[in-house]
Amino acid sequence: MHQNEDETFVILTGTCKFWLEGEEFTAGVGESVFIPRGKEHTFKVTNDGPCRHLLILTPGGFESFFADMAAGQFRIPEDMPAIEESATRHNMAFTGPRWTDHMSQKHIVYHIPVCPFSQRLEILLALRDLTDAVEFRVVDITKPRDPDLLAKTRGTTALPVLETSDGCILKESLVILRYLDEVLPGASCVGAIRSNTPLSRC
């Protein structure tokens, strides 16, 4: 949180997810986000590509914080002491938990329940006895797609889509299937299915 500056993000490429005083939202290309001074906030680049954004801070002066970060090539969490030292000089305080703690710890699958491509993910989870490990969010295909979801998928409408717990987007049910099978706790199923190994070994 910075006490003295209002901050405006203008997204030039990619997508960013924002957390502002408990509210989460996503902004894509051409959108802008206003963060008033003195408000707790954080943001995170989503998708697999970079996000370039124009940042306008008023009044001026805070830009030397970013110069410090670039000069030191600092990273969170490794370089927190150096980052906090510069932040303090710029009247900025790190007030809350890290971004991942704000977010759902579950992966999210956006899906259409009757879609066989989505159902293969449900079958995997059932076989792995991990039905609750992933949050399924139904997309109502009788309505125009949610712009937030379209920004995340960069315009792709086909479902299912997986949003990982750290905000990455995966498309294509077989890619998602293999990813979930790898990252979820317990023994993999996909290899067993592909090699005709009895499923009881899953």
Question: In angstroms, what is the minimal distance from the CB of 181 to ligand GSH?
Answer: 15
If the CB atoms of residues 21 and 182 are measured against ligand GSH, the closer one turns out to be: 182
- Strand 52-58 with 32-35, pairing: unpaired
Question: In angstroms, what is the minimal distance from the CB of 170 to ligand GSH?
Answer: 10
Q: Cite the beta strand spans of 65-185 per DSSP E.
A: 107-111, 134-138, 161-163, 169-171
If the CB atoms of residues 125 and 159 are measured against ligand GSH, the closer one turns out to be: 159
Residue 187: which of 138, 127, 133 has the closest Cα? Answer: 127
If the CB atoms of residues 78 and 140 are measured against ligand GSH, the closer one turns out to be: 140
Q: How far is CA 74 from CA 14, 40, 108, 159, in A?
A: 22, 21, 31, 38
Footprint on this chain of ligand GSH (rule: CB under 6 A): 112, 115, 117, 157-160, 172-174
**3-state SS assignment for residue 159:** coil
Question: In angstroms, what is the minimal distance from the CB of 161 to ligand GSH?
Answer: 8
Question: In angstroms, what is the minimal distance from the CB of 99 to ligand GSH?
Answer: 28
Instruction: Please tell me the number of Cα atoms within 13 Å of 75 on its side-chain side.
Output: 1
If the CB atoms of residues 68 and 148 are measured against ligand GSH, the closer one turns out to be: 148
Q: How far apart are CA 36 and CA 61, in angstroms?
A: 16
Question: In angstroms, what is the minimal distance from the CB of 198 to ligand GSH?
Answer: 26
If the CB atoms of residues 18 and 136 are measured against ligand GSH, the closer one turns out to be: 136
